Amino acid sequence: MVAASLLSGCSLLPQKQVVLQPPLVQPAAEKVDAIEVKKATIERSFSGAAVVASSKNVPLFYKESGRLKELHVKLGDEVKAGQLVAELDMGDLDLRVKLQKLSLERAQIEYFRVKQSGVTGNDLRMKEIDLEREQLLLDSMNDQFESAKLTTPINGIVSYLDTKSPGDGLNGYTPLVSVADPTQLYLIYTAEDPKQIAGVQRDMAVQIKVGDKKLEGKVLQSPSDAPITLNKEIDDRNTRLLYIAINKPDKTFELGKTIDIHIVLEKRDNVVVIPRSGLRTYLGRTYVQALDGDRRKEIDVQPGIMTSTEVEIVKGLDPGMKVILNN
């Protein structure tokens, strides 16, 4: 009976639990974004929108100050050589010219009357002086009358017009109107940042696009060869300007029109090119990470032409190698 109790007591003891081991999980393979090195063409270029302008732009102004009587043109008007552009207010000059013509006529009549009467010597000379004086006065008034008229010396288009109204004062030698010759055209590009056009050089070829039409041109002046004027405002402006000649411009080139331009700064064919994201730098070192079987390997490289998306590798990589991108 004691033995039975002992046996039954054993069933009351906690049984030992078996601890299960977690299943073995294979580590996930590392995912890398790699590309195969190939040879290609790489081009570093500049594109922008230039404005059509005239290389012959004539400013029209008065040499002396005065008051505007009337403007006879508007911005964009076509004008012919000799056409009246503006007039100064000369007060009663018209009336004084008419009166002076009468004075001259009277002096002429008096001179011929005295001469026909046989007067000679100083008396006749006095009448000649009177006649010459009246003629000089009339000539001077006519010169004033003509100086009040501003005319254009060339055929062209009014490309600038000061915001003046009749009665406004004008300063001498200050342009009131500018006339541009539409047959002598070029393009002007103005950069927001001088660094945008820092690589552009004189005589570089320019691709010009007007709608579906493509034309050729060349750089006439870039910041690198702009003349030094010692005028800070002009010199600063020249660091942002490109002047471009157009080969055989046609009627589609209108003054003030915006034209797309493209300039190739550098170009190389059949060279090793990788995405820019594959190039790495650290503490002055330039390198890439390449796949060597399942391992990564760092390789020092020498970059060449570099664009916003690609880079030429001059030394360090060969076609067929795989470069890991730094995405």
CATH number of the domain residue 73 falls in: 2.40.50.100
For residues 311 and 44, give the distance between their C-alpha atoms in angstroms, rounded to a whole number. Answer: 10
Q: Please state, for a pLDDT cut of 70, what percent of the chain lies above it.
A: 91
Q: What is the structure's pLDDT at 24? A: 64
Q: What is the structure's pLDDT at 28? A: 54
Q: What is the structure's pLDDT at 30? A: 61
Q: What is the structure's pLDDT at 1? A: 45
Residue 275: CA count within 13 A, CB half-sphere: 13
User: In the β-sheet with 78-79, what is the strand arrangement from edge to edge?
Assistant: 57-60, 177-180, 156-161, 78-79
Q: What is the structure's pLDDT at 27? A: 58
When divided into structural domains, the chain yields a total of 4
Do 126 and 210 fall within a single domain?
no
For residues 62 and 87, give the distance between their C-alpha atoms in angstroms, rounded to a whole number. Answer: 10
Domain membership flag for residue 18: no
Domain membership flag for residue 133: yes
Q: What is the structure's pLDDT at 265? A: 94
Q: What single letter denotes the amino acid at residue 193?
A: D
For residues 59 and 192, give the distance between their C-alpha atoms in angstroms, rounded to a whole number. Answer: 27
Q: What is the structure's pLDDT at 31? A: 74
**97-109 tens-digit pLDDT:** 999 999 999 999 9
Do 254 and 290 fall within a single domain?
no
Provide the 3-class DSSP secondary structure of residue 67.
Answer: strand
Q: What is the structure's pLDDT at 250? A: 87
Do 299 and 213 fall within a single domain?
no
Given a cut of 50, the residues of the chain with pLDDT beneath it are 1-10
Do 211 and 314 fall within a single domain?
no
**210-230 tens-digit pLDDT:** 988 999 999 999 999 998 888
Name the residue range of residue 109's domain: 91-147
Do 178 and 275 fall within a single domain?
no
Cβ(278)–Cβ(33) below 8 Å: no
Do 306 and 217 fall within a single domain?
no
Q: What is the structure's pLDDT at 21? A: 67
For residues 72 and 145, give the distance between their C-alpha atoms in angstroms, rounded to a whole number. Answer: 17
For residues 6 and 3, give the distance between their C-alpha atoms in angstroms, rounded to a whole number. Answer: 5
Do 143 and 155 fall within a single domain?
no
Residue among 212, 187, 192 at smallest CA distance from 263: 187
SS3 content of the chain, % helix, strand, coil (to 5): 25, 40, 35
Predicted TM-score of the model (pTM): 0.68
Domain membership flag for residue 6: no
Q: What is the structure's pLDDT at 20? A: 64
Domain membership flag for residue 238: yes
Residue among 309, 280, 59 at smallest CA distance from 173: 59
Q: What is the structure's pLDDT at 219? A: 97
